Structures are given as structure tokens and as C-alpha cells.
Amino acid sequence: MKIGIIGTGNIGGTLARKLRAAGHDICVANSRGIEGVRPFADEIGAQPVDMSGAVDGMDIIILSIPLPAVATLPKDLFAKVPVGVPVIDAGNYYPGMRDPAIAEIEAGLPESEWVARLIGRPVIKAFNNILAHSLAELGRPKGSLDRLAVAVAGDNPTSMNLVMGLVDEIGFDPVDAGPLASSWRQQPGTPAYCCDDDAVTMREYLAAAVPGRAPARRDALMAKFASFETFPSHNEMVALNRSFMTE
């Protein structure tokens, strides 16, 4: 498939590498323009493009940029994208730490519903509740006992199946997290967020999420991370996530 990825940070860049290694044609774009993204594209065998080039003619599009950056995308960027092309939102909202407050999300609107409204088309929420190290290093063949899971939420069954197929292809068990309105269950601060869960556990944690509880947990977790003198190891990050999810 031809996959366009906007954003080449920890998650977007890792997805670009893994999907290119899986044999897909990858087009990558970021805020630095074609020449700015070219070194990364050349490194992984992808095509460097501008924002339009990451959208036009794609079979799947992945947005992996901070939520405020979504607001800076060209207003008509997705205007000519066929309805059947899945647009994946892999972003998360971190107010106070990285992002300015977004009133609608603060009022309770799920993050990906806000993204969908902003870009003017439905999205699929995926790849937001797995750490970059896990995504890069912990993929396993289908059927492996230690295979981790990735939650996928959305409203279009065909698009959901395509995205869940990608998750499986790069080494993770896709878990149907329900409609986009339920995607708050995989946002930062919920039990299913970045704890290296298997599919059974993730389903349990998605179901266990309590409306309205995640923001305070998210903020406390981010404050704890900010207090570290050195960047925590992957294992420390997972352990800290798990400790906050049970409070």
C-alpha cells in the first residue's frame, strides 16, 4: 500500500521505518518541508514530500503530530481525499507540558473527535497508546505469547479493518476499542495507556476506564516524568505508567 505519514517524531518516524520494512511505499512529510525531511526519507527508503504529497493518492494517511499542529495544517488538505481512505490520528494531548489548553478537549471532547472536526473528516485513533520503544523493538509474530496490543477506535468498519491489519502486520495484536466517541478510553491517564499490555489485559483496561478520571492522572503522571533528573528508561516509564493507572 501507499502510506502517507505527516510527522517524523518518535511515533511517526518509527511507523515509517516499520511500514517501509514491511514493504509499503512510504511518503513522509514534516514541518521542515521536503528538504528538511529528505535525510530521514533517504535513510529509510521513503519519499520526501510536502503536506499535500503525504495525502494525495494515498491508501492510508497517518497524522503523528502534536494536536496544536493539526490546527496549522492547510484547511483544504483532505478535501480531495476519498472517503474510503483511512486517516489515522496517532497523537495525544499533553496540556501544560507541551500543548496549550484546547477548550473543547478540556470540556470533555475526545481528542480524536476534536481532530476529526478540525480536518473535516472521520479519523481512526491508533498508535497513541504504545511507547515508541515498544513500537520499534517489541513487535512479535502473530500468536506469540508475549505479543503486545494496540488499541484502535473508529466508526468505519472498512477503515478499522485496514488499520487493524497494519497493526497486526508490524507485530502487535489490534484491539477493537469501539467507536471514535469511546477513544477517550485509550488517551493519556487511562489504564490502557502505554503499559505494554497484551490483548486480553488491554480489553480489560479499556473497559475499566472511568469517565472524567484520566485528566488528573495524566497531569500527575506528566509532573512525575518532569521531575526526573535524567530521562527515564523504557522499563521505568512502563512501571510509572502502571503505578498511576492503579491509583
pLDDT band at 224 (very low <50, low <70, confident <90, very high): confident
Within 10 Å of residue 101's Cβ, how many Cβ atoms? 10
Q: Is the pLDDT at 182 greater than 90, yes or no?
A: yes
- For residue range 94-127, what is the model confidence (pLDDT) as tens digits? 998 788 999 999 999 999 999 999 999 999 999 9
- State the Cα angle at 133 between 171 and 14, rounded to 5°: 70
Q: Is the pLDDT at 203 greater than 70, yes or no?
A: yes
Within 10 Å of residue 246's Cβ, how many Cβ atoms? 7
What are the grid coordinates assigned to 199, written together? 490483548
CA gap 206, 223 in Å, rounded? 24
Q: Is the pLDDT at 247 greater than 70, yes or no?
A: no
* β-strand partners of 173: 149
135: CB partners within 8 A, 6+ apart: 11, 14, 15, 18, 127, 170, 172
Whole-model pTM: value is 0.96
CA gap 37, 28 in Å, rounded? 7
- For residue range 132-170, what is the model confidence (pLDDT) as tens digits? 999 999 999 999 999 999 999 999 999 999 999 999 999
SS3 category, 154: coil
Mean pLDDT for 229-240 is: 90
Q: Which domains does the chain have, with CATH numbers?
A: 66-245 (3.40.50)
Strand 124-126, strand 149-153: pairing: antiparallel
Q: Is the pLDDT at 171 greater than 70, yes or no?
A: yes
What strands lie across the sheet with 25-29, from one edge to the other?
47-48, 25-29, 2-6, 60-63, 87-89, 124-126, 149-153, 173-176
pLDDT band at 231 (very low <50, low <70, confident <90, very high): confident
* Burial (CB count within 10 angstroms: exposed 0-12, middle 13-18, buried 19+), residue 188: buried
The radius of gyration computed from the CA coordinates of the chain, to the nearest angstrom, equals 17
pLDDT for the residue 226 = 83
Mean pLDDT for 209-230 is: 89
Q: Which amino acid is at 60?
A: I
pLDDT for the residue 246 = 63
